[in-house]
Chain A
Amino acid sequence: MDLSVFRQRLSTLGADIGHWPDHEEAVALLAVSDEAVALLAAAVDEGAEAGDEPLNSALTDAVLDATLGRGAKSSCAP
């Protein structure tokens, strides 16, 4: 798959590449093309505004715990 096909899939099938008929080819392109990643991220971002499931705040907490340590949260408290 090349970028032009990737763009066409995005416009016709949307950003959920799991439903593309050539999903594996799309994944292969994403592995090597920053432009494909940027296109997909932009499409995902637009779709997220249209009606994504809410972000699980536990994800943010888990990331902060894993990076800054549990003390980081409490140290921010008044």
Chain B
Amino acid sequence: MLGKSENVDKLDRQGWSDEILFGAARGGDEHAFRVLVDRHARVVRRLALGILGDAHEAEDIAQEAFVAAWRARETWTPEARFTTWLHRIAVNKAIDRYRGRRATPEPADVITRLADAAPAAPVEDQQQRLERRESARSLRDCLRRLPASQRQALTLYYFEDLDVARIAGVLDTTEQAVRSLLKRGKQTLRLLIQRQKSLGLHGSFGFPSTAVDAGR
């Protein structure tokens, strides 16, 4: 809860540009920095969320970005646009976190989405859940090995539920080309899955065998 005089101080500064506010903050104006944080925290957090896909991590990154900007305040020059500088700091921090996390084998959101797409038995025991997760992991591995155009088409079709016309717009190609990509993508995916099965790798592939064979 802000005190009355603090509210007045904040209101005084609402009309200031970012650059004037940060210049004032560098000079010790705490209210100016608070106004800047209030003004930009939402976008900074959303930038991080887009990269990381996790609200809690995005909140962490937003906080880290402002702290880093404050610590580096002497390096900012008034000729540079404040938001360009701040957003770059935030995006770099989010990308660092993202790349560090990719070394971790199980991004929970991807696995959850893939696993949720798999038709599951009404009641699963722990073993079934583990097998389903394993299948989802295997599917993800197979998808990653597809050519980029096939992977993009399949992802948009199955996970974003876009129709062929929409996918053609996104990929800047024709509907016929999208149908061809989907067809070849499914064939390639099926081959990759069969190869993994023959090697005895991973689970039962409930999603791909069912979904691909069903034509969607």
Q: Which residue of A lies closest to B70 (CB)?
A: A67
Question: What interface size band does chain B fall in?
Answer: 35 or more
Choose, from B15-23, B61-69, B117-125, B193-201, the stretch at the interface: B61-69
A76 surroundings in chain B (CB, below 8 A):
2-3, 5-6, 9, 30-31
**What's the Cα separation between A60 and B166 when bound, in Å?**
40
A77–B6 contact, CB under 8 A?
yes
Q: Which residue of A lies closest to B170 (CB)?
A: A12
Number of interface residues of A (CB under 8 A): 41
Looking at the complex, which one of A27, A66, A77 makes contact with B3 (CB distance below 8 Å)? A77
- Which B87-116 residues sit within 8 Å CB-CB of chain A? 87-88, 91-92, 95, 98, 109
**What's the Cα separation between A39 and B111 when bound, in Å?**
30
Chain A CB within 8 A of B206 CB: no
| A-B CB contacts (within 8 Å), total count | 121
Looking at the complex, which one of A16, A18, A59 makes contact with B45 (CB distance below 8 Å)? A59
B33–A64 contact, CB under 8 A?
yes
**What's the Cα separation between A76 and B37 when bound, in Å?**
16
Q: Which residue of A lies closest to B50 (CB)?
A: A17
A64–B50 contact, CB under 8 A?
no
A18–B91 contact, CB under 8 A?
no
B88 surroundings in chain A (CB, below 8 A):
34, 37
B63–A62 contact, CB under 8 A?
yes
B186 surroundings in chain A (CB, below 8 A):
none
